[in-house]
């Protein structure tokens, strides 16, 4: 059996390749390429017992995919309680970008979309129980002055 050549790296997928695979695996999604950006819209329903969510996915070549839940709007359990694992109330955090859990060699259709479906399942469970059961890490929250208070060490000045 031949050994892999040293220095072999997987090939990055461009937006047209990502779009083609999305259309193949998720034909209900409307995907369009504009320049070096892929924009897909469609519906995700984790199980037959869950709500059906209209979502938007955007991926700029060389960047990381971003996802928004458009309808129904995600809701907080309490006005003062943030929705766990979100960047904003409509933008779920699906993976840890700094840990490179997703890269442009991976298919959005087989990573981001299934991760979103699982995230929505955990979200609905959290609405009922108040406990996030999906594990992971919460993304840092920024204050009105743009400082990330959650990442500050205890005793560090906040001013």
Q: Using CA atoms, how far apart are residues 112 and 135, in angstroms rounded to an integer?
A: 17
Q: What is the pLDDT of residue 148?
A: 40
Assign 70 to helix, strand or coil. Answer: strand
Predicted pLDDT of residue 33: 97
3-state class (DSSP) for residue 99 = helix
Domain 15-129 part of CATH 3.10.110: yes
Return the SS3 of 67. strand
Domain limits, the chain:
15-129
Regions of the chain short of the pLDDT cut 50: 143-159
Going from the C-alpha of 93 to that of each of 65, 72, 132, 140, the distances in angstroms are: 11, 17, 13, 11
122 contacts 100 by C-beta, under 8 angstroms: no
Which of 127, 137, 102 has its CA nearest to residue 18?
102
pLDDT of residue 113: 97
Q: Which pLDDT tens digit goes with each residue over 109-142?
A: 999 999 999 999 999 999 999 999 988 876 565 5
């Amino acid at each position: 059996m031949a050994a892999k050549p040293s220095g072999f790296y997987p090939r990055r997928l461009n937006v047209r390749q990502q779009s083609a695979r999305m259309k193949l695996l998720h034909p209900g999604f409307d995907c369009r390429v504009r320049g070096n950006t892929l924009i897909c819209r469609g519906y995700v329903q984790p199980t037959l017992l869950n709500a059906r969510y209209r979502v938007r996915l955007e991926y700029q070549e060389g960047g990381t995919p971003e996802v928004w839940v458009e309808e129904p709007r995600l809701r907080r359990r309490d006005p003062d309680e943030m929705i766990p694992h979100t960047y904003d109330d409509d933008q779920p955090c699906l993976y840890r970008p700094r840990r490179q859990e997703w890269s442009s060699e991976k298919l959005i259709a087989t990573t981001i979309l299934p991760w979103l479906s699982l995230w929505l399942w955990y979200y609905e469970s959290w609405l009922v129980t108040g406990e996030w059961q999906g594990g992971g890490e919460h993304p840092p929250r920024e204050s009105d002055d743009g400082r990330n208070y959650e990442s500050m060490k205890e005793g560090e000045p906040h001013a």
